Structure 1
């Protein structure tokens, strides 16, 4: 067990999912895509290669693409992270463990997100490049119907003139077509593994659950966070919360009547559930060849995936119950937020006067649970062969368990004649409720924070407040990141903002270190650490390098 007076980390990241990986990788990256163009990448990598060749007699092999060694194009050399970082995850001891398990449990082959939603800080097109470099073009699927290729310019004008909401029509430019493909889960997982290897952070994750976080010396520069965890006490100068909404799957309060027989109910993607989406008893019944039926409650993509997975393992009939109407969208948010006018929408979001206004914009953009056209087609096919039945605009008003028949009888509004099922699966999501996060209650008591819609009202730098260097990224930072904040897009956006603020914090305390600059015999002609953090002028560095070469 680690003692209180022991080592103090520079940064502790809570959560080893996409947001945690994106942040850790960004803190180790010298030339992030947010600050460097492709041509600048090539120039700086050439400068590093040139400096390396002076120390080594063997020349570096270059590619036809640029003056860059092939291993530097994507995989790159292993990089020593400039900060002392620890990563804590409550359920796994490896990057993306929970993410990968959830995809495997539901048999999901492809992500919902487009190709430019990923965790690589070096290149916006990093995932697309990885697919082609690995020769895995077959692992990406086109997102059809988003570019508007089937409509002529005249047809688009006609459609816009007939619509009362013409401002909501968003067609993507043909040049963006390459972005609107979906990667397979296996391709995405391999890229995440390569990213961790590139930055030498593969072994950084500790399986450790954080139970309490306290901050000492409030409003003082030397404040230290003390984290009580399942593996002992950890200390850090800064902390980043990257654990999603931190809300485990739960049953909505309106369905509290099922708690009396909770053993016959399960939650989709609950950490404590078995590998399958269904309990052991029901799977045993299926294996015996006996008829079985399941009710799946929810209107989002996960509910559709649970329905498909249940039938895939042998359930005779699935009743898919949706409180509203089934919404079909390519993404969790409306298409304009990734279309050619997304910057206009984001500017409107970021310039909103209040967090309440931003919350309303988020609700309008996301609109609750939705499924993709692909799963809409899958469900329609299951309905055609009588394997599934979709009950839209239907709410369960009561449910009674009969021990003799071992079945639930569901009363619904409108009535469906008393549905009888063997099991109920709730796939109703996990909305964020900031005040319910136990580990953060000591901080909340010390420095209360406003909460809107279950989300904390944090600073533009994603900090708790201007005095406490506790950061949020991903779902809990959505009021600052935008409607795509809870998705993979929020991982990279959040990492960029946090990295910028950490650069400011550590450069103030270590003015000579450059936060990531090298020292001694390892210092090269190019201080890539300061360049990557935006602390040095790029052109001054180029000029000094040119002078030294003369």
Structure 2
């Protein structure tokens, strides 16, 4: 009997079988694991309802005297909620959550996140990070995002506001300015002003540790790279029971079983490397690399050849290809060490606070998201995602830093340029850089450097994920521009309980799917679906109904109707 046969049964011990296996221990993995352990998520329940549930758990589903304590009813927990011991998180980088995140932030030396305070993996409270900062008295770890709230007001409105303040008059705006929803103006909720702060990297890291400790998830993470995922029959040798689930093989040779599987691998796909101009050079990692090599610790940063020159106080030079925030961060690190850096980008410098426009995440985000959800085809959604994200964006903070390095002579910026050809000889690169700015004559210049680093991003490519090949072969689905066409619950299809969170869920979540906002939204959809299915499978009508009646989400007539039927 071969592994590929339809009647293949994988025999495993009980310790290797889990209710849910999460592939990837990044922010999406943490958000998903925490959501599976949370029975009152903040996206569904208000703060008042959270307080009510806490009171119910303390006293049980029956109201008794304050002095009357009954330990037997104080540990109520919904049957659909998973325990940490029922969850396995497999991560190729670390045996802790966010190992890849740590590598990236340490390599780029990022002191403050780009995302605002309401982008985080806490499923219980959208204001959880703000609360955490103030509880720990760490307000100094918050950096204001300037020129965001109110920046969508027109120039005319700003002038009128200045005049009103100067004259101390409250004259209302006239004419078109009275139309609060006129086309071209994106409304910003001014009450969200406090939310437009960014957390420091240390604050965000500590907050994620607090989430991990709160749900007891630290022991759920294991360092092991997943090499294959297959859906089939599992035989538990300890209990002699058979399950339908996922057979997950890893690089270490271990095999795990999971009744449910969630793929949250973020920085996986088809990397844009080597770029066209470096193909013939066939460079090694000692000569050139992509940022994924740096973040996976396959290549050091700064490169060894640069480090040796810095130690011997020789002049060193580095070329960075890419126009996004990562390229700016790497350029800043190198310039700070005294390296001469040339930053090559094929377009202009594009400055924006986030990867997408602000109206995707603020008060009126439903206007934008509804325009995404009502699209008829996934091809249209993929095109909207491409237009919304744009790519190659630098936030104002790093743009100012780059300008300072240019002024000091450490950084040379080459916009509307690309590497036409590159050759490596005697420890040096010789690059032919072509200028491609429209309206101007094309010109080619020669550039010499010690190392080339490509921050050219990663293309979505589900078929390029090796561990997904068995699933794609046995349970094929439609793929649009490298993204899977999942169900609205982010499920592979209605047959197998395979879910995807993060970039691979973009066709259902939207342009923010690859960011922290998408991690929380995706985890909510997946968590709700899994917990709802579990509740349907083993619903204890007496125990659950008592709590639902106590919290006001079920009336007794509905319960009577169920009993009569």
Taking structure 2 as the reference length, what is the TM-score of the superposition?
A: 0.82
- Asked if residue 40 in structure 1 is aligned to residue 49 in structure 2, the reply is yes
How many residues were matched structurally?
502
Q: Deviations over 1:497-541 (max 9, x none)?
A: 101111232223323399xx89xxxxxx975xxx7xxxx894057
1:69 alignment counterpart: none
d(CA) in 1 for partners of 2:347 and 2:151?
Answer: 31
2:505 alignment counterpart: 477
**What does residue range 466-505 of structure 1 map to in structure 2 within 5 Å?**
466-505=494-533
List alignment gaps of at least 5 residues for structure 1.
60-78, 519-524, 545-550
Contact 1:106/1:276, CA 8 A, preserved across alignment: no
- Asked if residue 6 in structure 1 is aligned to residue 13 in structure 2, the reply is yes
Contact 1:48/1:526, CA 8 A, preserved across alignment: no
Q: Deviations over 1:291-331 (max 9, x none)?
A: 1111100011000001001112231x111000111111100
Task: Give SS of 2:219's match.
Answer: coil
List alignment gaps of at least 5 residues for structure 2.
1-9, 70-80, 162-174, 235-241, 436-441, 558-565
Task: Give SS of 2:319's match.
Answer: strand
**What does residue range 341-490 of structure 1 map to in structure 2 within 5 Å?**
341-403=364-426, 406-413=428-435, 414-415=442-443, 417-490=445-518
- Asked if residue 96 in structure 1 is aligned to residue 98 in structure 2, the reply is yes
- Asked if residue 340 in structure 1 is aligned to residue 380 in structure 2, the reply is no
Cα displacement (A) at 1:254: 2.0
Contact 1:215/1:443, CA 8 A, preserved across alignment: yes
Cα displacement (A) at 1:209: 0.9
CA RMSD of aligned residues (A): 3.2
Q: Deviations over 1:25-56 (max 9, x none)?
A: 01111211011111111222233344599999
1:228 alignment counterpart: 249
Given the alignment, which residue of 173, 178, 182 partners 2:194?
A: 178
d(CA) in 2 for partners of 1:113 and 1:424?
Answer: 29
2:350 alignment counterpart: 327
Q: Deviations over 1:162-203 (max 9, x none)?
A: 9xxx84542422101111111111000000000000001111
Contact 1:329/1:371, CA 8 A, preserved across alignment: yes
- Residues 224 and 150 of structure 1, relative CA distance in 2, 3 Å threshold: closer
**Which structure's CA Rg is the greater one?**
2
d(CA) in 2 for partners of 1:434 and 1:157?
Answer: 50
- Residues 541 and 210 of structure 1, relative CA distance in 2, 3 Å threshold: same
Contact 1:26/1:495, CA 8 A, preserved across alignment: yes
Given the alignment, which residue of 25, 29, 39 partners 1:20?
A: 29
- Of 175-184 and 48-57, more deviation after overlay is shown by 48-57
- Residues 526 and 486 of structure 1, relative CA distance in 2, 3 Å threshold: farther
Cα displacement (A) at 1:340: 3.1
- Residues 272 and 82 of structure 1, relative CA distance in 2, 3 Å threshold: closer
1:294 alignment counterpart: 318
Q: Deviations over 1:99-156 (max 9, x none)?
A: 0221011110011111100000110100111111111111111111111269689526
Taking structure 1 as the reference length, what is the TM-score of the superposition?
A: 0.84
Contact 1:252/1:428, CA 8 A, preserved across alignment: no
1:257 alignment counterpart: 279
Cα displacement (A) at 1:6: 1.9
2:220 alignment counterpart: 204
d(CA) in 1 for partners of 2:30 and 2:304?
Answer: 33
Contact 2:53/2:551, CA 8 A, preserved across alignment: no
